[in-house]
Amino acid sequence: MSTVRLTVAQATIRFLAQQYTRRDGVEHRLVEGFLGIFGHGNVAGIGQALLEAELHDPAEMPYILTRNEQGAVNAAVAFAKDRDRLSTMAVTTSVGPGAMNMITGAALATTNRIPVLLFPADVFANRRPDPGARRARAPAES
């Protein structure tokens, strides 16, 4: 038995690809794909995992590029309604304004009890944009 090493994002994609709902003896894939916009916080994590999944098997977890975060959530809501709440789409966005734009769509989904899965981006362990910017500098010679 061999060990498989995965990042959290890779494990999440594999996990979601294996989730199903069942009604009247018929299985439906729970999360049929991702909608999203990549930016700060989700390129290196979930973005890389989605790319690797698509390169391995395009049907495992399809990704659709969107241009508006609120529109992506609304599209996921419409998809779930069309599938009679048996399947949905996940939505991923960049951190900050991107994640904030998902709130209206999340409220719509919550109010109407529509399943959507939202992945707002994460931030790095520290917020310094340049690790070298805070290095101690030698005093200038006079």
Domain boundaries, the chain: 28-124
The topology under which CATH files domain 28-124 is Rossmann fold (3.40.50)
Q: Is 141 helix (H, G, I), strand (E, B) or coil?
A: coil
Structure tokens belonging to residue 43: 């390129």
Q: What's the pLDDT at 96?
A: 79
Structure tokens belonging to residue 48: 């890389």
DSSP per position, 3-22: -----HHHHHHHHHHT-EEE
Higher-confidence residue of 6 and 38: namely 6
User: Where on the phi/psi map is residue 84: left (φ > 0), alpha (ψ -120 to 50), or beta?
Assistant: left
pLDDT tens digits for range 33-77: 999 888 766 777 888 889 899 888 888 899 999 989 899 999 999
